[in-house]
Amino acid sequence: MTARPLALQEAVLGYPLEDLARRSRSGGSGTRVPGAGQGGLQSRSFRAFAGNAQRAPQSVVKRIRAGGCHSKEELTRQLNYITREDAAHATWTNFAGVDRELRSTTLARAVEDWSSAWRGAPRRGHTDHIILSFPKGTGIDAAETVAREWGQAIFASGDYGDQWRYVAAVHRDPDHIHAHFVVDKVGCDWGNFLSISMKSELNYDVMRERHAEIARAHGLEMVASNRLSRGIIENPPRETEYRAAHDRTGRGDLVPAPSMSEAERARRRAVVTDFARQYAGLGQLASLSGAGNAFMQTLSQAFFASAQTLEEGGSLMSEADTLTPPPLENGSFDAIAAMAVARDQMLSEARQTWDSIQSMDAGPERVRMQAEFSRTSAELIAATQADPFFQDHATIAHAGDDLFAHLTPTSLQHVRGGLELDDPSVRQIDSALDDMRDALTVVFSSETDLMAQMSTTAEELAEYLLQGEHSVAQAEAWRGRAEALDEDASARLTDMLEEGHRIIEGVTVPRDLAEELALDQLLTVDKHHPLADVPAIEALVNRMTGELSNEALGQVLEGDSTPLQGEIRDPAVRAAIAAELKTEADLVVGQGARRREAVEAYQTMARTHQAELAAEHSTEHGADLEDGHEH
């Protein structure tokens, strides 16, 4: 049995921070940000999600391509350019962690001092040219303050392997306030060469996060998040193309995004869809953590609106008027802290609830409560940032890891869950489950000693089997009970379960439900699952063998499935039954061993057919709406 699609597998990408998303994709442990432990990662992630939902401006940190200097002459020209009086609001240099204002001889001395330590011929030069940008409307003095602190934190603090000297300037372009940093790559303390890449301790994600963190400390709302968390699927245009277009037309934003394969676009679309689920979960969390707080309720609505925007294919673009939390009278309000506290409280209460369920008296009610806990966990997993505890309770265990899994009751539960309560099929399914429950309880009741050793009852174990599939946490708990048995008891359990499975397979499912169960089983098993081991398919094969005439069966075996069309509506189920009829006929006449064909082809056929039906329904529904509008 496969886990629920994508959401949980992609949950590790749920951090809207570039470094965490990239490292999780590559198997790394994430990028270190000083002072950020696990709690810090959670708060950073919450803050990035909240910033996106509030449409806060994004931090922009860029390195100028080909901006590295290879000679004293190039360095002189570059320093003169960034510090020119007609553009610079403030200029300074930093050496050994101390900012110094520029004097008439400062630049010449910097060129001589830096170049004297250069060795070799680095491909990108001996320096880096970094631009730190600010949102439109930022005050020039505020930008200078943030830029000074950022330069200290990134290059002069020693937090990233060394200290590097630099010359900086804040430019007063009213439409694009920004700061230039020309950095000598030779470290002052240890001589470590400055390397900025995802493989290095210092990378652009760290630089952007520190920029946003320092800006927020000075009242400038800013966030550093990845593009997919904002619903932006395309890659940004290449810097060279952007600058060329800007120089040519003044509109670099009109440069088209690089091309992308349909497979990659679909993968990214799926990740964005998962982010939408997480925004909805955080909307729930913000609502729970801010009862009576007007700002938290507004933030909750912003999360839900962001989820809807991403689901509809839109993106969360920055806006000038962001949703800024008003401080309380004592100035201590922190929305992110409130959400983190609510998450921790939710997790604590969930653990207590699960322990209470496990402590209940053995019986069917305990099993039903476990199943309800799994459903609730699936709803809360996004709000808790895919906490491992909720993952284990929300994820369906693989059939190979679940001693008590069985496809037939699983499909009965799936089909029943998709029906209205007044649908006649509900009564049919309940009747079939009741028949199984009664027969299983009789068999299990003969093993009173075994039930006692497993701390269960015959009624409880029967109810557990009738769930069909179970969460990872449920499966682990029951497997632990089974593994604690001695050798004799373990053998008896195996025999008892085999008998239980025979009982389940022996209960007749009403004719009008058989095809729905077969389709559900085709769609939910792993694609490598043998077709012959799909119970509902085999039941229909046996039924067709008994009901079709010899002439009709002969047609099917010759490759003409027309006789099945009046019996089986779904084309994928029909094709699977035809294939199994042919396989069984070959066995009867002795033509080789049984083919172990996998369900993959029929699974694909079923999904394609469902997509076609959905598209047809959507078209018809749209036509109805249009007609109604015209009238």
Helices (H), strands (E): how many in the chain? Answer: 24, 6
How much is the pLDDT for 27?
A: 43
Residue 13 pLDDT > 50: no
Please state at what angle helix 535-547 crosses helix 571-588, rounded to 10 degrees: 70
pLDDT above 90: percentage of residues in the chain: 44
Identify the weakest region by mean pLDDT among 374-378, 396-400, 404-408. 374-378
Distance CA(379)–CA(112), nearest Å, equals 63
Residue 399 pLDDT > 80: yes
Distance CA(467)–CA(326), nearest Å, equals 49
Closest CA to 435 of 539, 499, 505, 363: 505
- Cα 262 from chain centroid (whole Å): 20
How much is the pLDDT for 238?
A: 67
Fold of 60-208: BirA Bifunctional Protein; domain 2 (3.30.930)
- For residues 41-63, give the mean pLDDT: 85
How much is the pLDDT for 211?
A: 95
- For residues 282-286, give the mean pLDDT: 84
Q: Between these two residues, 18 and 31, which has the higher pLDDT value?
A: 18
Q: Between these two residues, 191 and 5, which has the higher pLDDT value?
A: 191
Residue 325 pLDDT > 60: no
Q: What are phi and psi of 335, to 5 degrees?
A: -60, -40
Query: In Å, what is the CA distance from 288 to each residue of 21, 284, 373?
Result: 27, 6, 19
First to last CA, the chain: 49
How much is the pLDDT for 242?
A: 62
- For residues 4-31, give the mean pLDDT: 44
Distance CA(225)–CA(209), nearest Å, equals 8
| Tens digits of residue pLDDT in 504-529 | 988 888 877 889 999 999 998 889 99
- For residues 441-456, give the mean pLDDT: 94
Domain boundaries, the chain: 60-208, 400-508, 509-631
Residue 348 pLDDT > 90: no
Distance CA(98)–CA(103), nearest Å, equals 15
How much is the pLDDT for 110?
A: 94
User: Tokens representing 186?
Assistant: 């030779």
Q: Between these two residues, 438 and 287, which has the higher pLDDT value?
A: 438
Model-level pTM?
A: 0.61
Residue 104's pLDDT band (boundaries 50, 70, 90)? confident
- For residues 394-416, give the mean pLDDT: 90
Residue 70 pLDDT > 80: yes
Distance CA(164)–CA(122), nearest Å, equals 17
Residue 19's pLDDT band (boundaries 50, 70, 90)? low
Positions of E strands within 82-143: 88-95, 98-101, 127-133
- For residues 483-499, give the mean pLDDT: 94
How much is the pLDDT for 623?
A: 45
Residue 355 pLDDT > 80: yes
